Amino acid sequence: MERSLFTKIIDREIPATIEYEDDTVIAIRDVDPVAPVHLLIIPKKPLRSIQEMGPEDHVLMGHVVHVAQQLAEKFNISHTGYRLLTNVNADAGQTVFHTHFHLIGGEALGGLRSTTLSPVHKSHAHRSHAFWRDLAVFLVAAIGLAYGYNELNPKRIAWMRPEYKFDTLSTAPIIYPRDTLGLNGIATLDSAADRSTRQASLDSIKRATDSTKRAKELLTKGVDTTKMAPSAPCFTAESGVIKEISYDQFITFLTKECVILIDARIPESYAKGRIRNAINIDGTMAESPEVIPRLAYLARDKFIIIYCDGGECELSHRVAAVLKNFGYGPIYVYKGGWAEWSKKK
């Protein structure tokens, strides 16, 4: 018979952890155990399997069983239970064709249909179970660390992305007359007004359209329209009201004195450029202890307009949500933000 792996171990050509040895058998630890105790009891006689054993080998078989008993006592599995088995040829899972016996124990091994009957199958199942167990432990630990870091981080990210849905400011505001530009405070068109009031509103809408165009021209020329005094007050508080405004409405608001302009972008973007005299409130930190006091003590007699980079303008809405909780309003979100402003200005 060709010299097998076990023959080379017996001859000390390959290292192994030896638990027992005498003149006829050697017992070593399995390098790929399927249970806490998994030993291989190997007769030194070079037989492919027990199928090749003859009557002269009966004493050897009895000796293998006796060695198994001794090892079971040594590893404290004699009373809890163990399994002594051998695989014969390929269908039984034999991979090393040198007679050997598996002594398996240290845990509940299941019934006779258990894959522990085949150490090869049990080994695969054991490795698969260990893999999924370790993966589950890793994922739980990773999620725990991520949650803890996120909760302690001032720029924490919401686990579920909030949906911001607000009404858009009416496209037909009433603009009270202003001496210089014809611009002033904005009020919602009263749907129950009588005919004369409706006509006055339509006239105001026309003036608003003309005034917006004039405001754009003056802003393009660099004229600071906020220095032009209004003829009537332009601010009416509406606590908790958040609405979105268009570019044209944003331009109109920039002509007013009663406006606080907030840039909700990150400080790095703000440093590269901003709209007019906007103050920077980093939207990623809107709920942080460092930023909340700044929001809580803003002036309450002015419109608040917030912008960010554009798109869904989530940073603006995060700032707006904090301001709403403090009773500010009306609060306007310019969704076009820096992107639209840079393109159209």
Share of the chain above pLDDT 70, in %: 70
Give the integer Cα–Cα distance in Å for 120 and 98: 16
Domains of the chain: 5-124 (3.30.428.10), 174-344 (3.40.250.10)
User: The tokens 């399994």 sit on which residue?
Assistant: 83
Contact 30, 9 (CB under 8 A): no
Digit-coded pLDDT (tens) for 169-228: 654 443 333 333 333 333 333 434 445 544 554 454 455 555 556 656 666 666 555 555
Bridge partner list, 306: 262, 333
pTM value surpassing 0.85: no
Q: Is 297 helix (H, G, I), strand (E, B) or coil?
A: coil
What phi, psi does 198 have (nearest 5°)? -60, -40
- Which residues in the chain belong to E strands, given as ranges? 18-21, 25-29, 37-43, 82-85, 101-105, 174-175, 186-187, 242-245, 259-263, 279-280, 303-307, 331-334
Q: Is 249 helix (H, G, I), strand (E, B) or coil?
A: helix
Q: Which residues are catalytic?
A: 100
Digit-coded pLDDT (tens) for 59-68: 999 999 999 9
